[in-house]
Chains A and B, each alone.
Chain A
């Protein structure tokens, strides 16, 4: 059994997911994790599929999606990642917004990386002049969250954008 990463990107219309997953089901594929969103009107989806089929055969099976030229499909085999071990990490929400300019994401995420933060979720939106970035950041217990917040504030200042880093705590019920 191999694990395949299937990406589907292109012009949005109703039915893309139904058609993609029907083709995968015909190939005996089992959907694991997936995510999909619309980016500036473009359909964008990544599916992880376990299957007894080679990547090339899956791509051939999904060719029906690409015949009209509006969608691009790629399939490649990826290794099984080990289950996430208990980390003791704390999750933070990083929020950045301000006037759009080149380099906001790279500057901010470089600070996060240098502080030991691992981004687990990210979305950015540009509407008019306003650029917005939201990211979830796991910080290991050993990391200095206050220090990271201060460095982010300095970088945000130099970019002329607003930044905040706030803990997201989840409660077990």
Chain B
């Protein structure tokens, strides 16, 4: 079963880097059936796929303040539950529990990583672009972390806002 609706051909878009106002404002709800929203979903997935090691991308990261993201943790060694490629509009975290610390990087903050505590069990709700169907996803481990990171982007939050302690920020030594 795939959660992915049929999408048009996606275009690779440039990724916005912090500091940028679009990354720190709450993004706006969208109409999931709007063709522009559908195209943006395709563009997010296309841009994410050409970015090595990138498991998710939120619309503000390509300069659009809409509540929409793409995500795909397939094949990542820390993945347990996996829903394959996902695009989700107007999402929110409904329930979250069992926090663990992990080190995150972000395409929009390319030279730093940070130690961030995130829930390892989450329930996420949103709507599917194209169909507009309501969707809830229950997941864990790495996919749960990725959902929280992307939804944070839609709330205008970067991992920098969640670093666990003043010495939890690191130079990114490994470039993919």
Which chain B residue shows the least CB distance to A168?
Answer: B103
CB atoms of A170 and B150 under 8 A apart = no
Interface presence of B127 (CB below 8 A) = no
Q: Report the interface size for chain B: residues with CB under 8 A from the other chain.
A: 28
CB atoms of A169 and B103 under 8 A apart = yes
* A interface residue count range (under 10 / 10 to 19 / 20 to 34 / 35 or more): 20 to 34
Smallest beta-carbon distance A81→chain B, Å: 12
CB atoms of B173 and A138 under 8 A apart = yes
Interface presence of B146 (CB below 8 A) = yes
Interface presence of A120 (CB below 8 A) = yes
Q: Chain A interface secondary structure, helix, strand, loop or mixed?
A: strand
CB atoms of A88 and B78 under 8 A apart = no
Q: Chain A residues near B167 (CB, 8 Å)? A: 35, 37, 121, 123
Interface presence of A164 (CB below 8 A) = no
Q: Chain B residues near A172 (CB, 8 Å)? A: 51, 53-55, 104-107, 176
- Across chains A and B, the number of contacting residue pairs, with CB separation under 8 Å, is 64
Q: Chain B residues near A136 (CB, 8 Å)? A: 170
- Docked Cα-Cα span, A35 to B168, in Å, equals 12
A interface footprint on B54-90 (CB within 8 Å = 1, 0 otherwise): 1110000000000000000000101000000000000
Q: Which of B54, B56, B105, B142 contacts A170 (CB 8 A)?
A: B105
- Docked Cα-Cα span, A88 to B142, in Å, equals 23
CB atoms of B170 and A121 under 8 A apart = yes
Q: A84-B171, A121-B170, A173-B104 are in contact. List 17 more A-B contacts (CB 8 A).
A: A37-B167, A86-B175, A87-B173, A87-B174, A89-B173, A120-B170, A120-B171, A121-B167, A169-B103, A170-B103, A170-B105, A170-B174, A171-B55, A171-B105, A172-B53, A173-B105, A173-B159
Q: List 24 A-B contacts (CB under 8 A).
A: A37-B167, A87-B174, A88-B175, A90-B174, A91-B170, A91-B173, A121-B167, A121-B170, A123-B167, A136-B170, A138-B173, A168-B103, A169-B103, A170-B103, A170-B104, A170-B105, A171-B78, A171-B103, A171-B104, A172-B51, A172-B105, A173-B104, A173-B107, A173-B145
Q: Which residues of B contact A (CB under 8 A)?
A: 51, 53-56, 76, 78, 102-107, 113, 142, 145-146, 149-150, 159, 167, 170-176
